[in-house]
Amino acid sequence: MTSPVVTTFAGIVFGVALAAPPGPMNAIIAEESVLRGWTSGFKAGIGAMLADVIFFVLTFAGVAAVLERHATVQDALFLVGGVLMLAFAADALRNVTAATGFTQGDVTQASTGFRKAFALSLTNPYQIAFWLTVGIGLVRPGTLAVTDHVPDVLAALVGEFVVETGSPALLVGFFGGIGLWVIAYPAALVATGRRIDAFAPLVALLSGLVLGGFGLLFCWIGLTALF
């Protein structure tokens, strides 16, 4: 039997690996962090994390298994998520000209990062697909090879980790790993922004491009599947 300490650590690695890759959520966190400071970036991360908590509860309750059988609903979510991402991309690109530098505690526009990240996460087909597949495996009693679900670089570092699923230690570690990323990622961006004032408009531009790219992709997938 795997020890609780190893299982918790594996959950942390798994949580960080899920949260760290570039994508729409991290684009919003980055934009909020360099334009409005760590608190706004952290709130955006909490918005995305809250959606994961909701998906976890629904998975635990068996709702995810029901949704899995309705492909049309999943296809519609691609389209809805894509439209939202395009709208948020336009907002991020408007910030390119407005953001003349890093601003900490001195903003003219209230942060909407929490609502953005929360809304996008709830309609993010990839996030939903995770909970329909790997997420179900997390809550069901059994075993899970963590290295099968993390990037190759992390897999090489941590080696073979086979942990007990359905374990409170794994779930605590998993959400702890996401929480660690939500705290550390905005802090790193803020530290960089303070040193390089021009970093703010660059992040706004990159965030807009990432959101726009994913938005177009999701819209295309949704439209081709539905029509």
- pLDDT tens-digit profile of 159-169? 566 667 778 88
113 vs 182: CA distance, rounded Å = 13
Q: How confident is the model at residue 122 (pLDDT cuts 50, 70, 90)?
A: confident
Question: Tokens in use for 212?
Answer: 């726009």
Paired tokens of 77? 């979510």
Query: Does the structure show a pLDDT above 80 at 180?
Result: yes
Q: Which amino acid does the sequence have at 121?
A: S
Helix axes 199-226, 24-36, angle to 10 degrees: 150
**Cα angle for residues 51, 152, 183 (degrees, 5° grid):** 40
Residue 13: the pLDDT is: 77
Task: Rounding to the nearest 10 degrees, give the CA dihedral for residues 116, 119, 123, 129.
Answer: 80
**To the nearest whole percent, how much of the chain has pLDDT over 70?**
70
Look-up of token digits 């409005």:
36
Per-residue tokens: 223: 């439209």
The percentage of the chain sitting over the pLDDT mark of 90, rounded to a whole number, equals 13
Cα separation, 18 vs 28, whole angstroms: 16
Integer CA distances (angstroms), 90 to 24, 189, 205, 211, in order: 13, 22, 10, 9
For residue 177, the model assigns a pLDDT of 92
- The CA-atom distances, in angstroms, between 14 and each of 42, 67, 113, 174 are 20, 24, 24, 6
Give the DSSP letter of residue 141: S
Q: What residues does 144 pair with on adjacent strands?
A: 163
Task: Quickly tell me which residue has 């959400």 as its tokens.
Answer: 175
Q: Model-level pTM?
A: 0.72
Dihedral pair phi/psi, residue 186, rounded to 5°: -60, -35
- 45: pLDDT confidence band, cut at 50, 70 and 90? very high
The more confidently predicted of residues 83 and 199 is 83
Highest mean pLDDT among 52-61, 120-129, 138-147, 185-194: 52-61
Please report which confidence band the pLDDT of residue 108 belongs to, taking 50, 70 and 90 as the band edges: very low
User: Does pLDDT of 202 surpass 80?
Assistant: no
pLDDT value, residue 47: 93
Strands 162-165 and 142-145, bridge-based pairing: antiparallel
Q: How far apart are CA 38 and CA 190, in angstroms?
A: 6
Average pLDDT of span 175-200: 81
Res. 106: pLDDT tops 50: no
37-56 average pLDDT score: 91
Q: What is the mean pLDDT of residues 62-66?
A: 65
Residue type, 187: A
The mean-pLDDT minimum among 35-39, 195-199, 203-207 falls in 195-199
